[in-house]
Amino acid sequence: MHIEYDRDTCIGMFQCVAEWDAFEKDEDAGKAVLADSEERDEDLFVREVPEDAEFDAKFAARACPVEAIAVYDDDGEQLIP
């Protein structure tokens, strides 16, 4: 499972930060940061989700009010949103 985070879409509500500790606040930018991620395209960050964090990653994606976070299974199927 992996997660994709579109930092450009993020509006800085930080609900993801409350749901999964892989997301951190960047107060200066007013955006969340996905720790240990790789920038695939401009402002699109990707990270593998450890098995023990799958539940939290899904909740972080569901909590985002602007759907800046997407979760994909190992086959590349989009699970959330």
List pLDDT tens digits, range 6-31: 999 999 999 999 999 999 999 999 99
The pLDDT value given to residue 39: 98
Determine phi and psi for 59, rounding to 5 degrees: -65, -40
Contact indicator for 30, 19 with CB cutoff of 8 Å:
no
pLDDT-above-90 percentage for the chain: 100
The pLDDT value given to residue 80: 96
What number is the average pLDDT over the span 42-50?
A: 98
DSSP string, 27-74: TTTTEEEETT-EEEETTEEEEE--GGGHHHHHHHHHH-TT--EEEE-T
By CB atoms closer than 10 A (0-12, 13-18, 19+), residue 54 is: middle
Residue 15 parent element (H or E): helix 15-19
The pLDDT value given to residue 9: 98
